[in-house]
Amino acid sequence: FFSIFAFATCGGFEGSVTFSVTCAGGDNATRVTNVTAAYGYPFRLNQAVFQPSLTHLCNHTWPRDVHLVGDFSSASRFFVGVAVGAFLYSLGALGLYLGYLHLYRCAGSHLPLLDPRTCCSPVSVPLSGSAPPVPGPRRGHVRRAAAAPLPHCPAPGVTCARAATPMGGLGASVAFGFLNLLLWAGGSWFVYKETPLHRPAPPPEPSPAPM
């Protein structure tokens, strides 16, 4: 369930950056326009353009369209991929435990040794892929990119005021990622306890004495 929440909150995240642009007119009149750049998964902020186009505001103060800065697509896709893989493995392992437990615990089965190695993958992959151990669209990195001032805003003729930029959903995905990592680490220990490495196989039953 935590893996579902992790990739759902990250993959379904939608945010925006809004500025209120005030243009001072020649007759002391002012014109206020709200411009917004919307972004979301996979967090290619450098492709998010402010709308309506800034090139039409404040007597063509901006010569071209303005984009946000930053591309976090590789990290966010890695995060979602690990979460989806953990979810699919959980379904497969649940089917194995419920339907084929007799094969799992039979003598000579290699499944108890294979299971810990596979179960540790959702823990070892994030740890080896990046730091901190829950890679993805770091909330701090995206927040800093979204908090950058609007470029080419010449004062005092033009004033650019920032509106709120909520990121609660992105913080939730990182929290679920950490919880998922801790749960898999704990689950790996219990899976290891089922292996002969931790619990030796019981000795064979003695054969009856010959008559």
pLDDT score recorded for residue 108: 58
pLDDT score recorded for residue 82: 82
Tokens 């946000």 label which residue? Answer: 68
Q: Which two tokens stand for residue 196?
A: 């002969």
How would residue 5 be classed by pLDDT, with cut points 50, 70 and 90? Answer: confident
Write the DSSP symbol of residue 51: B
Tokens 């930053």 label which residue? Answer: 70
Cα→Cα distances 150→3, 48, 100, 139, 165, Å: 36, 13, 60, 20, 14
How confident is the model over 113-138, as a mean pLDDT? 54
More confident residue, 114 or 125: 114
- How far is CA 154 from its chain centroid? 37
143 has pLDDT over 70: yes
- Amino acid present at 56: H
Tokens 């810990």 label which residue? Answer: 116
pLDDT score recorded for residue 114: 66
How confident is the model over 156-167, as a mean pLDDT? 78
- How far is CA 138 from its chain centroid? 8
30-44, 109-123, 181-195 — most confident range: 30-44
Q: Is 70 left (phi over 0), alpha (psi -120 to 50) or beta?
A: left
How would residue 119 be classed by pLDDT, with cut points 50, 70 and 90? Answer: low
126 has pLDDT over 70: no
Mean pLDDT of the chain: 74
135 has pLDDT over 50: no
pLDDT score recorded for residue 56: 85
Cross-sheet strand order for the sheet of 14-24 = 30-40, 14-24, 158-162
149: Cβ–Cβ under 8 A, 6 or more apart, which residues?
Answer: 160, 162
How would residue 132 be classed by pLDDT, with cut points 50, 70 and 90? Answer: very low
Q: Which two tokens stand for residue 187?
A: 């689950």
